[in-house]
Every structure is written in structure tokens, then in C-alpha cells.
Amino acid sequence: MELPSRTAIRDLAGELRLGIADGDLDFYHAAATGLLGSWAVVEELYDDVAPVAPTRDWAEPDGNPLGAWYVTTDLSSGGGGPLAGRRVAVKDNIAVAGVPMMNGSETVRGFVPSTDATVVTRLLDAGATIAGKAVCEDLCFSGASHTAKSGPVRNPWDLGRTTGGSSSGSAALVAAGEVDLALGGDQGGSIRIPAAFCGVVGHKPTFGLVPYTGAFPIEQSIDHLGPIAPTVADAAAMLTVLAGADGADPRQPAGLAGEDYVAGLDHLDRGLRIGVVTEGFGLANSDPGVDAVVRDAIERLTAAGHVAEEVAIPWHRHGAALWDVISVEGATWQMLQGNAYGLNWKGRYDPDQMAFYGERWRRDPAAFSETVKLVALGGTWSLRQGYGAAYGKARNLEHRLAAAYDTPLATYDVLVMPTLPIVASPIPAADASAEEVVTRALEMVANTAPFDVTGHPACSIPAGLSDGLPVGLMVVGRRHDDAGVLRAAHAFEQTLGTLTPPRPTTTHDKELTA
């Protein structure tokens, strides 16, 4: 780091309006340069232990009809394990050492991590093969699949429609059968949204159950990682490998342990009591066909021996507002001003990533997606007006929102509602207006986002089709009862079945290659 001159200290003091007298400038200059000498000591000490990226083979995707691959790999430990033989796609906000990470953004393009994320290490140790990095949305701030700077990710059910985001490539590759499993991330629904739109299973674990270490953060209080898979059993097998404390992520309580989520799937000795959340239906933008598919699915569950009762949770409709404040102010402070990781927490940082991204985004903020620009505008304005007080209020209201779900969950085994109010929408054209780009990116999060705030486990499973497109049913359970959520989702899957996308039509194929 270059040390400041006396003139630089004078100018900085003026910029910060510190009121330093001219006669004191020599002192402050000497004191500041002396203080900043510690930075050089830390640099020298860190250089002795800094990780070095391994040499790993990777390639540009050879044939990528869905636009879902960022790069492909063929990485494995060569050993056995519970996921031996399974090919896994890793969302491209998650570090695979020696393999490029873009996180959907020009501000990250060219960065190569030096260390595997904890979840990647656990997958490799379990015998899985990392098949590549799946495209994700620009800095993961979109619920649709059109903001990645590498291009849109297309839904296997209809190549003109969104896969959902931000784990867009992960869900598309699972739905298309190109991989067996995928890692996703979820801050506002980004595992469950693409799972629902693509007709697969997506499980957002209880907050902190899966270590986030080595994944590009948005806002540490809502960051989640979890599985996207063809079936609930596959998701459970993956979660069994991923869950548990790693000692490097302060989102996780010390001693947190996972369990064998597969072993308990069939241990259901009675019909489940299901709370059907009234406020999850009939949203301002709800597609009546989606609500009807989920209602019909619930009737099929009751016919199969489960008990379903309507339950009113008025606070559910407030959840999206709390999420807006937390995600926008929090992301502005951490992901933008704090260069992704922020400060003031005892987690494992990636200093190289912070420096790379921090310099790149400040060089050209216009490279941000329209959604990130909206976050920057709204978050900067609100922080300047309220100094973070709104964020504090939203965080302090979290317990009210959580209690609104915990109360019925004391009676019911799980809560259910539509994962999303709509089916997959058309991908905006390349020249679409900012209004269309942003609207399409955020129009679907009302039911998913509240559970990123409260941390309840939530799993999206296919409920059926509306107008030939998948509809998701979301199963929500008690915090730290991921086993119960997966057990319920598995039981429901036995009744509702799974979905397989049709082969894209010739028209769509021609459109894609045009």
C-alpha cells in the first residue's frame, strides 16, 4: 500500500471535514504513516501462508444449448463415498480452486479462486465429480435468468422462458439431465425459484446448516447454500454430505451437526398435518392456474391420507418488505461498499477476491446489471437518509415474522403454499427496457424471500403443470428440522410424482440457434 503524503493527509482531512488545524498536520501525517506501517507487516505475514491456486483442467463448454454452463471440468478425488459416480454442477458464485469464477458479472470475470469452498471439498470427499460451474445471475441478484453477462439461461421446458434465478444454470442442468445434482445458493429464493420453474427439487436449508465458506456473499444474514436435485431423496443425500459446522463460518453455531437425511425419509408412521398458508395464494400477481395446481395437489395429498387445514398468517405478507430492507441496505453495505465480504465478522475471508472485485466494480460501475444498479441506488439513498436505522428495525422485526410461522408449526408438521405465484415468464429481449429487465427479475419472490429472513427450512417440489409449465409447491418446517421437511416433501412426492421436460420443439431449437 502506498503511504500518504502530507498533502494527501491534508486533502483527506478536508474531505472528511475533520477540522484539523494546519499546525497539527505534521503530527497527523507522521502518526498516520506510522500507523499504516502495520499494513505492511500484515501483508508480509499473510504472504507466508496465502493459499496458491492448484492447476486444474477446465474448458469452455462444448455445446451449451441452454446457456447453463460457464466452464466445464471433470474433478474428482478418485475415491468412493455416498456420492460416488454422481456428476455435480456448482453454482458459479461458489469457489472451485483453480477454476474461473464469474458470478454472472463483468466485475468478477477473470477471477480464479485459490481455495475450494467447504461445500466443494465435502462433495469431492464424498466421491462426487465436479462437472463444471453453472451460470448464475449477475452477483446473484435476480430471480430470473436473463441478467448474467454470459447470456440468458434457457428453461428446458420452453427455451424462450426463464429458468428462474439466481441458481439458473444449476436448475436447468438438473432438469435437462446433464448432471445428477447441483449446488445452489439462496438469498431471496434462488434455490427454490429455479427449481420450481424447471420442475425439480430445491431445498433451502435452515440458516447456517450448510457452511457458506468460499461462496461469494450478498448479505451474511440471508446467505444460504443447498441442493438442487431431480428427487427429494437425491436432495437429502446431498444435504447429508453438505451439512454441519466447518469452524470458519460465523453463520453457523459451534458444534452444529447434520444428520443422515436419507435414512429418515420413509419413517412416516402417520399422515401429516399440513397447514395451508392462506396468504401464500391470491397475491397481486398470482396466476390463477398456479394457485389451482397447488390446491389440486393439496387435495391429492389429503386423498392420500394427510390432513390439510387452512391457516392464516397475516405476517407472511409483510415478509417481502422486511426482506427488501435487509437485502437492499445489507447488500449495499456488504456486497458493494464492503466488496462482498464486508468487515466486522469472524469468518474466513477471501482477500484476493475482495481486492479483485472491489477494484473492478469501482473501475466501471456501469457494468452492473440493472437489478444491482437498483440495489445501489435504493440502498445508498436509504443509508444516507437513515444511517442504517431501517435495517436495524427490519432485523428487530425478524422475530415477529419468525414467530408468525413458529406458532402454527407448533400444531402442524409443515406449512405449504405455492413456491412462486407464476409460471416461468418469457426471457426479455436483448434490447428490453430497464423496467422490463428489473420487473422480470424480481416479480416472483413474495413467498420465498420471507424464509431467507427467518431462516426456516423450505423445499420446493413439483406440484404439476399449468399451461404445460412446471408449478412448485413449497414445504416449510421448523428451524433445524430439515429432516422433517424432507420427510414430508418425500411423502408428497410419492403422491404428486416427478416431472421430466419434453424435448424442445423444432421451433425453439431454430430460435436458439438463430
Q: Pick the catalytic residue from 167, 190, 382, 460.
A: 190
Q: What is the pLDDT of residue 513?
A: 33
**What's the pLDDT band for 267 if we cut at 50, 70, 90?**
confident
Q: Is the pLDDT of residue 512 over 80?
A: no
Q: Of the listed 91, 133, 149, 204, which one is catalytic?
A: 91
Give the helix, strand, coil percentages of the chain, each rounded to 5. Answer: 40, 15, 45
Does residue 229 sit in helix, strand or coil?
A: strand
How confident is the model over 348-397, as pLDDT tens digits? 999 999 999 999 999 999 999 999 999 999 999 999 999 999 999 999 99
List, for residues 387-433, the tens digit of each pLDDT value.
999 999 999 999 999 999 999 999 999 999 999 999 999 999 999 99
Give me 109's grid cell: 470475470
Domain boundaries, the chain: 1-28, 60-496
Q: What is the CA radius of gyration of the chain?
A: 23
What is the full DSSP assignment across 63-88? --TTS-EEEEEEE--S---TTTT-EE
On the CB side of 253, how many CA atoms lie within 13 Å of its CA?
A: 6
* Residue of 371 and 504 predicted with greater confidence: 371
Coil, strand, or helix at residue 464?
Answer: strand
8 Å CB contact between 273 and 279:
no
Cell of 382: 436509504
For residue 190, indicate whether it is catalytic.
Answer: yes
- State pLDDT tens for residues 44-96: 999 999 999 999 999 999 999 999 999 999 999 998 999 999 999 999 999 99
Amino acid symbol at 396? N
What CA–CA distance (Å, rounded) separates 119 from 213? 8
C-alpha to C-alpha distances, 320 to 81, 145, 188, 220, 420, nearest whole angstrom:
40, 20, 9, 18, 13
Query: What is the average pLDDT across 198-219?
Result: 98
Element spanning 333, H or E: none
Q: What pLDDT score does 1 carry?
A: 87
Question: Is 90 exceeded by the pLDDT of residue 514?
Answer: no
Rounded Cα gap, residues 377 and 394, in angstroms: 19
- Mean pLDDT (whole number) for 170-177: 98
Is 3.90.1300.10 the CATH number for 60-496?
A: yes
Say what the pLDDT of residue 474 is.
Answer: 99
Residue from 458, 456, 490, 477 nearest 264 by CA: 490
pLDDT at 504: 54
* Per-residue DSSP letter, 253: P
Which candidate in 105, 145, 166, 167 is catalytic? 166
pLDDT digits (tens, 9 = 90+) for 268-311: 889 999 999 999 999 999 999 999 999 999 999 999 999 999 99
